[in-house]
Amino acid sequence: MSDLLAARHILIGYKNPSVPPSSAEKDSLRKKADQVRAQLTNANFVEMVKKYSTDPGAAQNNGNYGVFEKQSMVAAFSNGTAALKPGEISQPVESQFGFHIIQRLPYAEVKNDFAAKYTQAAARIASTTYAAQAETTAKIQVKDNAAATMKAVAKEAAKHRTDKATLATFTGGELTVADFLSWVETAPPQQQILQRIPQAPDSVLKPFAKSLAVQQYLLKRANDAKVDITAKERETMYAEIGQLVTNVWGALGIDPKALGDSAKSSAERERLAASRVDAYLDRMLAGTAQMISVPSPLKKMLNTKYETSTNEAGIDRAFERAQHVRASADSARAANTPKSQVPIPGVGAPPGAAPPAGQQPTAPPPAKKP
């Protein structure tokens, strides 16, 4: 693959790469780079990296970028590397970061990295090509109301987990609202996709729905072809899910072993677990415990396995209880807060007492006529 390169470098960097350097700074660094280049050989390159490079990662990697794809680096660096023969050292090459002195690494030094990177790049290219072909053959049609539906669903996701309404169609299948939620909830929580959808323009949401329809189409093709994960991958997946469950158990204090030490029968353990969950909710409402975040994969499995519903009267009762718990906690904190020794102007000062420094004295009220 011709766009794979391998290099290490010495960076004589600008003080602040986010703003254009002054002519004086550029001239000074160019002279320094020329001086460093004059001392360089293949034998002493690593030593000179440690001595001169201002690249923050140089201390850990000796300036070695290993194997990289040409388009992954700034053009000046990639083109400067591509212009060298393996084993050659460049003259200083300027980029927005400063001046690079590049050593193109010979294949023998990085052949294992080349093999791994080639495999990754080839797999990505094949995947991208396959997906592009699939998009053509899928004949995807996004519904006119898809954007509006996605916005409504994002506001009340829990009510739509089994919603079979169609957002898009493709050859041999469709993308339903439930499918849409399944794909969205696989994204990392920090992306906050569901939270961002209600404010997103239709011009963004319709292509997003189309991209999810492509993924749904590819999943259908894989299922039709009976593609499955390996036994090792399945074992790893189960272990990871098991760890997620254990973490939530521990946070709630309902680990089965701990419950078994305190309660003998199944009914007793269930009551103990329920009481501990209630106690946790009370602490959370009182502000003394943080909300436990259930990871998306585990949340999805629980939603699939167990039927859930929302009791409006229960929510109202919980809200009332939350207000009571919060009021009690605020009252307790206020009772334990030491009273201030600083008098509030106009309050609590004895008659005739001098006003605090800097405060104008209050005029006495007019005497009543006899």
In sequence order, which residues have a C-beta less than 8 Å from that of residue 228 and are 6 or more positions away?
A: none
- pLDDT at position 56 is 87
- pLDDT at position 109 is 87
Q: What is the pTM of this model?
A: 0.50
pLDDT grade for 63, boundaries at 50, 70 and 90: very high
In sequence order, which residues have a C-beta less than 8 Å from that of residue 137 and are 6 or more positions away?
A: 171
For 123-170, write each residue's pLDDT tens digit. 777 888 887 888 889 999 999 999 999 999 999 988 898 899 999 999
Residue 153: CB atoms within 10 A of its CB come to 23
Q: Which amino acid is at 260?
A: G
For 220-246, write each residue's pLDDT tens digit. 988 999 988 899 999 998 898 889 888
For 296-323, write each residue's pLDDT tens digit. 777 778 877 887 777 778 778 778 877 8
What is the sign of the dihedral through the CA atoms of 144, 145, 146 and 147? Answer: positive
What domains are defined for the chain?
4-113 (3.10.50.40), 139-224 (no CATH), 233-330 (no CATH)
Which tops the pLDDT comparison, 86 or 367? 86
Phi-psi region at 106: left, alpha or beta (left = phi > 0; alpha = psi -120 to 50): beta
